[in-house]
Structure 1
Amino acid sequence: MVRDLRPEQLATVTLGGDVVDGELEPENAEIIRMHSVIYNTRDDIAAVIHTPSPAATAFALANLPLPCRTEPLLRFGQAQPVPVVPWGPRGSDVSVKGITQVLAENAGTNAVLLGNHGLLAFGADPVATGRLVIAIEESAAAELAAAALGGAADLPSGALDAVQAGMKTQRH
C-alpha cells in the first residue's frame, strides 16, 4: 500500500525510463511510458497518479466515460466527462497511442479512464492531483448509486461559472 512505502522502495526515473536513483521493478517499468506521455503532451502537468480505485475502474471496465455531474469535479478541474482510452497492454505502444489520441480529442481533461484497467489523473502538483483522484472516485461511486435510483441528473447550465466565481470570492 502507498501509505506503507518507505523512501528506499522508491525510484527516480527520467521521462525516458532511465533509473536515476533506486531500483525499478519490471512491473513498474512498463507504466513509465503511460505517465511520460502525459508530461510530454501537457506542459501544465507536474503530477500523474494511476490508480485502480474501484468505482472509477467500474467505468473503465464498462468502457464508459464518467459524466461530470458533481460539484467536486468542477472544483478540482474536471469540468468535462472523464474520457475512456481503449484498452491496450499497460505501457504498450497501443496504450500510449490511445492516451495521446484521447488527450488530443479532449483538450482540458485532467484524467482519463484506461479501458478495462483503471484511472490516470494528472494536475499541476501532487496535492491537486490527489484531490482530483478522490473527487473522481467519489463521483463515480455516486454515479453508480444514482443509477439504482433511476439515474443522475446533469448539472444545471452555468454550474462551472458559478463554482469558479464562488472559489474566487472565497480566496479574497
Structure 2
Amino acid sequence: MTQHDPVQKARADLTAGINKLFAASAMSASGHGNISVRIPGHDDRLLVNAGELLRPWPADDLRVAAPALRTVNDHVVVVGLDGTVHEGTPSPSVAAILKMHIGVYQARPDVNAVIHTHSPYATSYALAGVSLPARYEALLVHGQPVDIPVAPWAPRGTEEAVRSIAETFAAHPRTYAILLGNHGLLVAGDSARHAASLVVAIEEAAVSSIGAEPLGGPAPFPDHVHDLDLRLRFEEPTA
C-alpha cells in the first residue's frame, strides 16, 4: 500500500481528526462520537469509524489491507452515500447514525468530513436549545462566521432527525456546524483536521461564552467584521 492509496489518505485524515479532539480535551469523558471523511477520488464513498466510542488512535496504525477500495479492519468501515456498507462492520450505534452523516454530505456537497461529539459545553447549548453566538475570534479563523444554529430534536437515526439536520444546514448555508437539540454537536469540514479544529474552537467558544455571562455576555464584533476574511486555510498533508 502506497502513500497515494485513497483509503490510507482518508484513514490518516480520520486519525488526525480524532487525535486532535482528544489532545484538546474537546471530547466528553464517555468518548461518545463518530467521524467520517470522503475517500479521495471516490466522492460517493465515506470512511467512518466502526466502533461505539472514539479513542485516540496511533497515527501509524492504518491496518488497511488489499484490493480495490481496500478491505478495512473493524476500526473503520467504507460506506456509500446510498447507505450501503461496502467494507467492514459498523457497531449497532454507528449503523444507527450513518444516515445522519450521509444526510450532511447530501445537504452540503462541498464538505469532506463530518464529526459528531457530545463536547460538554457545546452540548450545554444544545440541551438549552440556544444558538451558540459566533463572538469568539477562533470561530472566524476556522471558517464559522455565523452563530451556530440548533436543529430541533428528533429520535437519533430516524428520517425525522436526518431531515431536521438537512433543513437546518439548508437554512444556514454559511454554517459548518449545528447543535443537535437535546443531544450534542455536529460539525462539517473541508477535512477531518479542519472539522476537528472547528470542534475545538466551538468548545472553547462555549466555555468562554458561559463564563462571560456574569460579565454581561459575549460582546458582538464590530459591524466591519463582515467585510473581513479572517479564515486561515492550511494546506493539507499529501501523505
TM-score by length of 2: 0.66
1:127 corresponds to 2:193: yes
Contact 1:15 1:32 in 2 (8 A): no
Contact 2:142 2:232 in 1 (8 A): no
TM alignment of 1:108-147, pairs within 5 A: 108-147=174-213
> Take 1:93 and 1:167, find their aligned partners in 2: how far apart are those partners?
36
Q: Spell out, residue by residue over 1:89-112, the C-alpha distance to the aligned partner (whole angstroms, 9 max, x if none).
A: 112111111112111211111000
For structure 1, the 5+ residue unaligned runs are none
Q: 1:142 is aligned with what amino acid? A: S
> Take 1:73 and 1:57, find their aligned partners in 2: how far apart are those partners?
17
Structure possessing the higher relative contact order (Cα contacts under 8 Å, 6 or more residues apart)? 1
For structure 2, the 5+ residue unaligned runs are 1-53, 64-72
Q: Spell out, residue by residue over 1:3-44, the C-alpha distance to the aligned partner (whole angstroms, 9 max, x if none).
A: 058753222211232221211111111111111111111121
1:66 to 111, 132, 155: 132
Give the equivalent residue in structure 1 for 2:15: none
> Take 1:156 and 1:35, find their aligned partners in 2: how far apart are those partners?
35
TM-score by length of 1: 0.90
User: How far does residue 167 in structure 1 lie from its aligned partner after superposition?
Assistant: 5.2
> Take 1:19 and 1:163, find their aligned partners in 2: how far apart are those partners?
39
User: How far does residue 148 in structure 1 lie from its aligned partner after superposition?
Assistant: 2.5
Q: 2:225 is aligned with what amino acid? A: A
User: How far does residue 56 in structure 1 lie from its aligned partner after superposition?
Assistant: 0.5
**3-state SS of paired residue (1:127):** helix
Question: Which protein has the bigger helix share?
Answer: 1
2:157 to 59, 68, 91: 91
1:100 to 166, 184, 194: 166
State the identity %: 40
> Take 1:18 and 1:146, find their aligned partners in 2: how far apart are those partners?
46
Contact 1:14 1:20 in 2 (8 A): yes
Between stretches 62-71 and 88-97, larger displacement belongs to: 88-97
**3-state SS of paired residue (1:20):** strand
**3-state SS of paired residue (1:142):** helix
2:216 to 138, 150, 155: 150
Give the equivalent residue in structure 2 for 1:77: 143
Between stretches 152-161 and 24-33, larger displacement belongs to: 152-161
Q: Spell out, residue by residue over 1:73-99, the C-alpha distance to the aligned partner (whole angstroms, 9 max, x if none).
A: 111111110000000111211111111
Contact 1:71 1:163 in 2 (8 A): no
